[in-house]
Amino acid sequence: MSSLEKATPNKQLIADLTPKRRRIYQLLCDADKPLSAYELLSIYNDCVNKSIHAMSVYRILGYLKSVNLIVHLHSVNKYIAATDAFTTQTHVLMYLTCQHCCDVQRIHLANPSAMGIEYQIAQLGYQLFNHSIEVPVLCNHCSAGANYSSIQEN
């Protein structure tokens, strides 16, 4: 089973991807860390005979995000494959993103934690739009040897 097949239960969606979209998604599935659009551009162009332009990468990332195959980590402006596609109305997926090394850990919040978050949001007059939350953090490795104030300024 390929990393694409492991990443999402929606096999038809993967099968319907154009070759460029499929390749960008494959690169994110195979990556051991989040990647920026320009990192993807560089890796893609190193792997294929015909290069791709930055705007094409951004359009592909926009599409992959719109069909919930990838997640945009706003705090570090990088992307990861959404390998946790099972998140539903009863789950919230929390992404802990190290602001220094960009390591990402996922925490699945099931009921009652997920319902508590949704309830608090509803009390403020809002509806949960996406069942994933990004939390900017410092991992233990980075926080042990780093000056927090210098990281916070970036």
Are 73 and 32 in the same domain?
Answer: yes
Cα distances (angstroms) measured from residue 83 to each of 43, 46, 50: 21, 25, 28
Domain end call among 25, 52, 81: 81
DSSP strand pairing (132-137 vs 104-110)? unpaired
pLDDT digits (tens, 9 = 90+) for 92-143: 888 999 999 999 999 888 777 778 888 898 999 998 777 788 999 999 999 8
Domain end call among 48, 81, 114: 81
Q: Does 86 map to a domain?
A: no
Please, which pLDDT band fits residue 5 given cuts at 50, 70 and 90? low
pLDDT digits (tens, 9 = 90+) for 10-32: 678 888 899 999 999 999 999 99
* Domain membership of residue 118 as a residue range: 91-153
Are 29 and 73 in the same domain?
Answer: yes
Are 63 and 112 in the same domain?
Answer: no
